[in-house]
Chain A
């Protein structure tokens, strides 16, 4: 067992050695530019890209012409939201998204607002799910796009994508989803779900960093986005820039492997995650954040009340996890996702996200359970809030000096 144990697979995943192996030739002997149409160097690179396009398309039920390669999910989100707004703004200027989206979506929406767009940020229920009735109530004749993430990066909650896409279509809007955390982990099918645009990233599914894709539907309806970068007109004019051939080959291989192993991996990971979760919620005053039924198989977000998240992570230095605590963020604000669930700031400060992955073993989970329990108990011994709680003092009755 290697220490520290990596349980932050929602941040990024280690690359699968099989992916690396597939990529390596494209750094040297197959170095050609996929856009060079007149010699074998270009053809070989293009062949690699074409094969990867098929592999990506297959994983999400798309056709290869619908896959636009990008530098990652952030770029895909930006291209989809800004690109749809620019392309369809004559039709309407309204976009609907939700408060728990990734910053790439939220900030792209903020950008659209500056360009004259109107954006509705739907709230979520206590379990992190969006109320379908609220989505429907927000739809107007001006709505051109609904953008809702598939699975949440912090709490793992899976939104009712199919139902939301149907509502969007009923009102003539397109449906986009940031599926960065979901693709390769659970079955995602753009046809069955009615998805018009979908963002995905290689490094969340054991592929390399710096490469991702945007799925853009070509039939029923044929969706268009305005390019956000000017240049050689690559990727059917939607994303200029010489293709990152080794990265794209890696993304393709990562998709192929995820498709082959998804079913057994999901079972294995959810069993390990459930083991971790049930062992840790035995601790007094510990709470699982977000819906536990509609959830990605590899995530558990747990708040340990009366213990501060960053302090806790320091105690669990043998584990690489992440926290919704303000102290871990650049903004010094606790997680906006956890606050959107109606969690009080102190519970948001006390949260730890455990993200399991392909290389997580049962032995590691057993050790993680032991370390976490020990650390929570240790820090509670140091916590004046825990002492007050144990003495039966109502912490809300105290006038705290906020600073």
Chain B
């Protein structure tokens, strides 16, 4: 199976690889997936007082499409408000990266990671976590 140019680009030059201080109350961390399934994503956001995501970092264990999906997610998150970030849909990632059907789960995982990071941030700051609908497998 050939990868799309955008997957290759994100895979070769992943954006925003790294780690934010997960103990900071400004940082939300989402850790999703499982080693047994062959993909684990950790996505972190840093949020300022105006509810804007000022920084995003990721680390991913997984195939090229999983790495590209999380790299793209961090790119999209930076500068967005938390509310807008909640609206990122896995199908947007599928479209942008031209993922084939067998790789759609990589985009689902990225969406789950975004939402998990946002909820972690909310809980840390005394807010109720958003109730998440079951992912779109």
Q: Which residues of A contact B (CB under 8 A)?
A: 306-311, 314-315, 325-327, 332, 334, 344-346, 349, 381-387, 395, 398, 400-403
- Which chain A positions have C-beta within 8 A of B137? 403
Minimum C-beta distance from B85 to chain A (A): 20
Please determine whether A384 and B34 come into contact, CB atoms closer than 8 angstroms. Answer: no
Minimum C-beta distance from B57 to chain A (A): 11
Report Cα–Cα, A334/B17, bound state, in Å: 27
Minimum C-beta distance from B20 to chain A (A): 12
- Which chain B positions have C-beta within 8 A of A349? 35-36, 38
Tell me the count of chain B residues lying within 8 A, CB to CB, of chain A.
32
- Which chain B positions have C-beta within 8 A of A345? 35-38
Chain B residue at smallest Cβ distance from A387: B59
Please determine whether B36 and A346 come into contact, CB atoms closer than 8 angstroms. Answer: yes
- Which chain A positions have C-beta within 8 A of B60? 382-384
Contact among A310, A400, A402, A403 for B64, CB-based, below 8 A: A310
- Which chain B positions have C-beta within 8 A of A386? 61
Contact among B38, B61, B109, B135 for A384, CB-based, below 8 A: B61
Please determine whether A402 and B37 come into contact, CB atoms closer than 8 angstroms. Answer: yes
Please determine whether A334 and B14 come into contact, CB atoms closer than 8 angstroms. Answer: no
- Which chain B positions have C-beta within 8 A of A395? 35
- Which chain A positions have C-beta within 8 A of B77? none
Please determine whether A311 and B32 come into contact, CB atoms closer than 8 angstroms. Answer: no
Report Cα–Cα, A398/B62, bound state, in Å: 18
Contact among B19, B37, B40, B64 for A385, CB-based, below 8 A: B40
B79 interfacial by beta-carbon distance below 8 Å: no
Closest 8 CB pairs of A and B: A400-B34, A346-B35, A384-B42, A345-B36, A310-B63, A384-B59, A314-B64, A349-B38
Contact among A306, A315, A325, A381 for B17, CB-based, below 8 A: A381
Minimum C-beta distance from A139 to chain B (A): 36
Contact among A314, A344, A385 for B61, CB-based, below 8 A: A385
List which B89-137 residues lie within 8 A (CB) of chain A.
102, 105, 108-109, 112, 135, 137
Please determine whether B33 and A400 come into contact, CB atoms closer than 8 angstroms. Answer: yes
- Which chain A positions have C-beta within 8 A of B61? 306-308, 311, 382-386
Please determine whether B40 and A403 come into contact, CB atoms closer than 8 angstroms. Answer: no
Report Cα–Cα, A400/B35, bound state, in Å: 8
Given A382-B67, A384-B31, A400-B34, CB of A308 within 8 Å of CB of B42: no
- Which chain A positions have C-beta within 8 A of B75? none
Report Cα–Cα, A346/B36, bound state, in Å: 5
- Which chain A positions have C-beta within 8 A of B109? 403
Chain B residue at smallest Cβ distance from A310: B63
Most buried by B among A349, A384, A385, A386: A384
- Which chain B positions have C-beta within 8 A of A346? 35-36, 38
Report Cα–Cα, A75/B21, bound state, in Å: 59
Contact among A334, A381, A384, A387 for B41, CB-based, below 8 A: A384
Please determine whether B37 and A383 come into contact, CB atoms closer than 8 angstroms. Answer: no
B55 interfacial by beta-carbon distance below 8 Å: no
